Amino acid sequence: MQLPTPSSPLLFPDSVLTAAAHSDPYPYYAALLSYRPIYREARIGMWVALGATAVRTVLESPLCRVRPATEPVPQAIADSSAGAVFGSLVRMNDGAKHAAMRPAVTGLVSAFDPSALTAIARRVAAAAVGEHGCSGAGIDRFARAYPVQVIAQMIGLPPETAPKAATLIGDFVRCLSPLSGPTQIEASKTAATRLLRLMEDCAAQNTHGGLPMLVDRLVSLGVTQRQAALANLFGLMSQTYDAAAGLIGNTLLALAGDPALRRGGAGDEALLRRIVQEVARHDPPVHNTRRYVAEDGIIAGQAMKQGDAILVVLAAANRDPAVNPYPHRFDPDRAEPHCFTFGHGRHACPGERMATTLAVIGLQALLDRGVPFEQFAAAPRYAASVNSRIPIFGAPVFGAPS
């Protein structure tokens, strides 16, 4: 495929698989989108869907699955606690069993009390920003630890256990990255075993609230196995880890580049929420996801074969001018924005509201503390990743790429 030559000296990413960590992948996405909204990329051996209509069609297609039929659980973790967790997650699996559990998990998340979430988030954010501060590396640690600690408490883990859970989740998520090596994979397996054991001990307690109550509720709603209930509560923490860190970090960069917006957002929670929502569209923490064709058929106008893989570029669809006029303009007051960052269709993330609230409260805590925005004068670096866009403000402190 021959890409248009950019008129500026801006360098394009080497590949759509390296775009998320590039300094500015959006002109590249725009060039690909203008070429074709969905096409076969021979160099990576995948279909690539970029246009809003193509992305929506792929995510809705009954022919598409979230995992290849030949490898429902990544082979590297198949015979481990990490694999057991992965194999139970309703967002990472298809089939009748997981489809039956999906409404229970989605319903549970939707029923989380917003006032409880806000209260816990404010308390944890204040403590975390006090612990980590607002230096570059401190922001990195804050953005990773704080959101997971909040979700840990929301699913009923005791406050004193939440920091340990966040650390273990940080190790576990490495098994989800194709960039991780054997050392990171083994650490991920160990972390999954330790965190599941911690959750099992908590769920076994004879109490009338907390984690035991949520497990019982999931079982009553259709998650017939308690281990599957625990795995999906575990999954709420793991799904928060990179996404929330990227949303906080990318919003800080947006505020750093616009002092007037920064001053307005610091004193106006409603505006700050709109800013976070526009960041989720304009510079999202998750750039792509994948789908796998279960049988031969036509998808988004293309003849595809069983086993074909599709890279679904959510970040490109967010900037498709067909659904978002003037898509490259950052506009918190954008009318009826279309955002694919949290997915679409049966596997859409149910935690969009929670992620936005966590980002807003975390940013408020950082702004109240006094973020020295001059530290962002240099171009940001991003964590090595094939799908997440997470700025790194200090020295790398989290080991393997995500």
Which among 132, 152, 151 is positioned nearest to 140, based on CA atoms?
Answer: 132
Neighbours of 210 (CB within 10 A): 16
Query: In this structure, what are the phi and psi dihedrals at residue 297, rounded to the nearest 5 degrees?
Result: 175, 180
Contacts of residue 374, defined as CB under 8 A and 6 or more positions apart, other chains included, come to none
Task: Report CA torsion sign: 221, 146, 315, 306.
Answer: negative
pLDDT for the residue 367: 95
Can you list the domains of the chain with their CATH numbers?
66-286+341-392 (1.10.630.10)
Summarize pLDDT for 145-188 with one digit per residue, the tens.
Answer: 999 999 999 999 999 999 999 999 999 998 778 888 889 999 99
Contacts of residue 260, defined as CB under 8 A and 6 or more positions apart, other chains included, come to none
Which among 197, 176, 192, 210 is positioned nearest to 91, based on CA atoms?
Answer: 176
DSSP lists the bridge partners of residue 297 as 304
- The structure tokens listed for 115 are 């006032």
Residue with tokens 């590297």: 76
Hey, what's the torsion of the CAs at 300, 305, 306, 310, to 10 degrees? -50
Whole-number percent of the chain with pLDDT over 90: 81
d(CA 159, CA 368): 23
**Three-class SS string for 266-277?**
HCCHHHHHHHHH
Highest mean pLDDT among 93-97, 140-144, 263-267: 140-144
pLDDT for the residue 375: 82
d(CA 275, CA 333): 8
pTM score of the predicted model: 0.93
CA distances, 187 to each of 59, 86, 99 (Å) = 32, 15, 30
| pLDDT of 4 higher than 60 | no
Strand bridging mode 297-299 / 302-304: antiparallel
Top-confidence residue, 396 or 289: 289
Contacts of residue 399, defined as CB under 8 A and 6 or more positions apart, other chains included, come to 170, 171, 174, 184, 187
- Rg over CA atoms, the chain: 21
Summarize pLDDT for 280-314 with one digit per residue, the tens.
Answer: 999 999 999 999 999 999 999 999 999 999 999 99
Neighbours of 95 (CB within 10 A): 10
